[in-house]
Structure 1
Amino acid sequence: MTEFNTRAIHDGQTPDPTTGAVIPPLYLTSTFKQDGIGGLREGYEYSRSGNPTRTALQDTLASLEGGTHAFAFASGLAAEDTLLRATLVPGEKILVGNDAYGGTYRLINRVHGEWGITNLTVDFTDLDAVRAAVATHAPRVLWVETPSNPLLRIVDIAAVAEIAQASGAFLVVDNTFATPSLQQPLTLGADVVVHSLTKYLGGHSDVVGGAVIVRDANLAEHIGFLQNAVGAVAAPFDSWLVSRGLKTLGVRIDRHSDNAEAIVAAIEQHPAVEAVLYPGLPSHPGHEIAARQMRRFGGMVSVLLRGGEAAARQLVETTTLFTLAESLGGVESLIEYPAAMTHASVAGTALEVPANLVRISVGIEDARDLVADLTVALDALPA
């Protein structure tokens, strides 16, 4: 098998056989001419059911994650919703990490909960707690984020996979923060990988999308049916944008990681900082696991501030290069206050995030400028 960056550029991206165009065409069509009734060319009939631009993206995603089938959707939550429909029926249970993304928890708790799905939370970094929860509740699905959003906890994927396999449960890993450039959960025993394509895979903050990648043919058939039947598919232009982003994923992730490491080194001892949450730090409780299952430690950094909520709010509103915005994984640096933004929906639950937490998506600008911007904002916080 060729190396990652080579596959990111070439797999699923065959030059156009008619013109020789190096970049495959963008198929902006809703329907396809049939050569007689049922005479489909390459299986295409209607763009909800299948579109060559979406197929190209899905082929690339499957290759990069080490899967056999990939499915692209209109958003990360649309991808997760379809996956939940494919793996759970009313009366079954799902075990979710106790620091999962707020939107994921809202979907599971408030949407699927009303259809008879019971959700339970657990600290997936505590394997004994996971074993106990699985033995007691017999969940059908174990849902893991690693690194998690926004506390950057690290879960031992291989160890949790063993627990899931022994109980007959599906292990789903949200690989959005790490990307396949840094870790491939399917090779570590996971059954399913999910992504927000909006983030690092698209990489330029100009597209919204989601994906599900699997190895099991039966599960793939079920997801494929639901992708078409429910219809929240990735549009051709969105698929094309993500395919373009994937070509530079490896080099971007390395720059994100370089810059994150520089920022962590610069602010870890700052008097306004209570703690820096970054798996690349030897002091991080998941550092050894991350070093084992990830190629590098990524571009996401979270910071706990000594000044509490007021300091956190002031910091995110006073940076210049770090733009106050939700989302992450773009080339530009973003900063946000999770308690009132991305994770507001989990306030008052077991997933509530600390009030003094700031989440930083480190971009690919020059590290010296990013460090200076963040340091000036930290210096301005009340002593």
Structure 2
Amino acid sequence: MVILVFSDYWHPSKSVLESGVLGLSLDDVALETRPILARSDKPVTGVMKTQPLVPPIYHASTYVLRNVEDYCDVITQGGHLYSRMGNFTSDSAECAINAVEGGAGSLLFSSGMAAVSTAVLGCVNAGDHVIAPTPLYSGTFELFKSILPRFNIEISHVESGSSVEEYKKLVKSNTKLLYTETPCNPDMSLTDIKAFAELGNSLGITTFVDGTFASPYIQRSLQFGVDISMHSCTKYVGGHSDLLAGCLTVKTPEMWQKLRHMQMMIGCVLSPHDSSLLLRGIRTLGIRMEKHCANAMKIAEFLEKHPKIERVMYPGLPSHPQHELAKSQMLGGFGGMMSFDVKGGKRAGITLVENVRIINLAVSLGGVQSLIEHTASMTHGPLIVSDEDRRAQRIGDGHIRLSVGIENADDLIRDLSQALDKVSL
């Protein structure tokens, strides 16, 4: 017997570009125009001839029905009943993200980790096997290391930046998910997204790419054939360090329905207020990313020539071991993220990050303000991962992660220079 659930009836929200309301399609406008035009094609209730330029924030948790039949109509035909199951403000932000990603539909979550956890749990069952890279974002690493094994889900790791042949070597009969980050957090190594997707498709295994470090403006993983593209919207998509959010964009409506159902059951939806902030952020994503990329390239070139810097990992530098791959799949620039190793180890790295004046010592990334961290003490430090796990992830004692903002690039370079002057070797 087949048991239907709510989400079997539901379909992703459509924007006015996708449904033809404006007489235009996504292909008729440039990438940076899409999120600005891509409002939901659902009219605002009670508005006849005009609609607000900015979608309103619908704080309502529940919606009043005229009769019982309306309830059934909403379930089977679309609409809103209860905000855990959908909200007009969130629909609008999902439409804008999907217009950039070019998927079958998007889903918004209360954080990036909520998006990751929901997608993984939606794709695997007890007894299944997942292959993921190392290093990884520390939250994802902890999910794979400590949480999923409790549910009899097996995890195998490949070295980040490896050929997809390394994934293929680990595939088993129970492998259900191939997972990767590209660029990788924090060492900036890359995965060949097209080859990764082709491997999964050839074996009937779901493929998942976390592209947070790149942003969907410069790396659109679905265009290379992957099944699920994820971004922590707390970072570049929101862009202003004032919200927590995550998104999943998927290749097929069937995957959207499956993950929507899992999201409803777990309950990790984004609030209407944060959805409104996120929509505002994504509308300026294109112009922000152009500045992030330009600044980062200039700073990476400066650091690479500095005598106190041992190594710089930035995909835009010809010295990056996967620079040619970056040029083929990071299509709007090389992003605002980089990592580098300061000569002198831990003490030197801490001295640097504690002496910047314009750049902020903080975790997270992707906002308009530049942020810097000593990785081995902070996001991948002893309070988060063991020294053994950190070193296994190729994160050295002097490792620095830098999220380049949109300030004046010369100001940022002067700030790094004066801080590096205080480093004793």
- TM-score computed with the length of structure 2 as normaliser: 0.87
Does the 8 Å contact 1:124/1:130 carry over to 2? Answer: no
Q: Which residue of 1 aligns with 2:181?
A: 145
Asked if 1:267 is matched to 2:322, the reply is: no
Which of these residues, 305, 329, 334, is aligned with residue 297 of structure 1? Answer: 334
Aligned pairs for 1:334-353 within 5 A? 334-344=371-381, 345-347=384-386, 348-349=388-389, 350-351=392-393, 353=395
Alpha-carbon shift at residue 35 of structure 1 (Å): 1.7
Asked if 1:12 is matched to 2:39, the reply is: yes
Measured in 1, the distance between the counterparts of 2:339 and 2:248 equals 26
Provide, for residues 307-326 of structure 1, a one-character-per-residue CA deviation record: whole Å limited to 9, x for no partner: 11111111111101111111
Q: Which deviates further from its counterpart, 28-37 or 142-151?
A: 28-37
Which of these residues, 103, 106, 120, is aligned with residue 84 of structure 1? Answer: 120
Provide, for residues 5-40 of structure 1, a one-character-per-residue CA deviation record: whole Å limited to 9, x for no partner: 111111125685454321111111111111212425
Measured in 2, the distance between the counterparts of 1:285 and 1:137 equals 33
Q: Which deviates further from its counterpart, 12-21 or 140-149?
A: 12-21
Higher relative contact order (CA 8 A, sep 6+): 1
Q: Which has the larger radius of gyration?
A: 2
Alpha-carbon shift at residue 131 of structure 1 (Å): 2.2
**SS across alignment from 2:68:** coil
**SS across alignment from 1:112:** helix
RMSD value over aligned CA atoms?
1.6
Does the 8 Å contact 1:103/1:342 carry over to 2? Answer: no
Does the 8 Å contact 2:135/2:160 carry over to 1? Answer: no
Q: Which residue of 2 aligns with 1:251?
A: 287
Which of these residues, 261, 268, 288, is aligned with residue 232 of structure 1? Answer: 268
- TM-score computed with the length of structure 1 as normaliser: 0.96
Asked if 1:39 is matched to 2:78, the reply is: no
- Identity percentage of aligned residues: 38
Aligned pairs for 1:95-114 within 5 A? 95-114=131-150
> What is the number of equivalent residue pairs in this alignment?
382
Asked if 1:325 is matched to 2:367, the reply is: no
Aligned pairs for 1:164-175 within 5 A? 164-175=200-211
Q: Which residue of 1 aligns with 2:52?
A: 21
Does the 8 Å contact 1:324/1:334 carry over to 2? Answer: yes
Alpha-carbon shift at residue 330 of structure 1 (Å): 0.3
Q: Which residue of 1 aligns with 2:352?
A: 315
Q: Which residue of 1 aligns with 2:170?
A: 133
Provide, for residues 40-66 of structure 1, a one-character-per-residue CA deviation record: whole Å limited to 9, x for no partner: 575211111110001111111112111
Structure 1 residues 167 and 30: CA distance shift in structure 2, 3 A: same
**SS across alignment from 2:348:** helix
5+ residue gaps, structure 1, are none
**SS across alignment from 1:318:** coil
Does the 8 Å contact 2:40/2:91 carry over to 1? Answer: no
Provide, for residues 117-173 of structure 1, a one-character-per-residue CA deviation record: whole Å limited to 9, x for no partner: 111110243223222122x57521111111111100011101111221222211100
In structure 2, give the amino acid aligned to 1:22. L
Measured in 2, the distance between the counterparts of 1:266 and 1:13 equals 44
Measured in 1, the distance between the counterparts of 2:411 and 2:173 equals 50
Measured in 2, the distance between the counterparts of 1:204 and 1:258 equals 18
Measured in 1, the distance between the counterparts of 2:40 and 2:336 equals 27
Aligned pairs for 1:128-207 within 5 A? 128-134=165-171, 139-207=175-243
In structure 2, give the amino acid aligned to 1:331. V
5+ residue gaps, structure 2, are 1-26
